[in-house]
Amino acid sequence: MSFEKVLDKGYVRLVNHMGSDLTVANAARVSYAKESVELTERDRKLIRFLAREGHTSPFRHVMVQFEIYAPLMVARQWWKYIIGSSHMEGTGDSLEAWNESSRRYITEEPEFYIPSHSEWRGAPAHSKQGSGEPLPQEQGEKLSKELIEYIEMGMDKYEAALEAGVCAEQARLFLPSYGMYIRWYWTASLQSVCHFLNQRLMHDAQKEIQMYAKAVLTLSEPLFPVAVSEMVNGKEEALIG
């Protein structure tokens, strides 16, 4: 499977990949001029050793490319991780690419993330960020209705501006931003993907980006079952939860 639906309209699509678990093992063995032609238990043990001891450079010889369609609030969280990844201790990875759709050039019908009545969450009791328990259904219905009205008002003003001859790059100022879906390509090494997963599968990550991380995990694990199993902490709990 190369496609995972997320939220109401979003998705993660596997576009391409390079390498395998065997690539990781052979990248590590090149120092000794050794190479395996098929994955053996000895290779699996080597991958486990590399992950356990933090020898992560061999995992950067495997690349994965995804197309992602997500609300802007998810994309900007993701992007902050991307631009910081090459400077984070232990990652050593700058082999990433991010190309995003732009409303300077496209005028396709905007789409927005609208939580269902049961998806609205309250503020956490003992933290300044994150979310707490689900809000009552009645309150959720009211919030969803108000959000739809707000989006419709912004859309009316956006379309009116375009019809009045305003350039698309300025007309977009009328669009409600954080819930608007955008599309991008993300190409990254397997090490970087696993680093992202370890951060965004955590229970205290924003729920929406957790859902996208689970989709990335679901698409990545069949390609690199040994490496992902060893590099990603708590993947079983993430898939069950």
CA dist., res. 39 & res. 46, Å (int): 11
The residue among 122, 149, 174 that closes a domain is 174
CA dist., res. 172 & res. 175, Å (int): 5
The answer to the question of residue 130 being in a domain is no
The answer to the question of residue 119 being in a domain is no
Nearest to 157 by CA among 110, 122, 88, 94: 110
Q: Where are the alpha helices (DSSP H) in 69-136?
A: 72-84
Task: Answer yes or no: do 145 and 79 share one domain.
Answer: no
The two most distant CA atoms of the chain are separated, in Å, by 68
Q: What is the pLDDT of residue 240?
A: 47
The answer to the question of residue 113 being in a domain is no
Q: What is the pLDDT of residue 91?
A: 45
Q: What is the pLDDT of residue 66?
A: 97
Task: Answer yes or no: do 144 and 26 share one domain.
Answer: no
Task: Answer yes or no: do 193 and 234 share one domain.
Answer: yes
Confidence (pTM): 0.88
Q: What is the pLDDT of residue 32?
A: 67
Q: What is the pLDDT of residue 34?
A: 74
Q: What is the pLDDT of residue 108?
A: 72
Catalytic positions, written as ranges: 200
Q: What is the pLDDT of residue 33?
A: 67
Q: What is the pLDDT of residue 126?
A: 76
Q: Structure tokens of 173? A: 């100022």
Torsion of CA 20, 22, 23, 24, to 10 degrees: 100
Cα–Cα distance list, 63 to 93, 179, 221 (Å): 12, 30, 13
Task: Answer yes or no: do 161 and 223 share one domain.
Answer: no
Compute mean pLDDT per 10 residues along the chain, 241 residues long, and list them. Answer: 93 97 94 80 95 93 96 90 53 66 74 95 81 92 97 96 93 93 94 92 91 97 97 66 51
Q: Are 24 and 61 in contact (CB under 8 A)?
A: yes
Task: Answer yes or no: do 35 and 150 share one domain.
Answer: no
The residue among 126, 155, 174 that closes a domain is 174
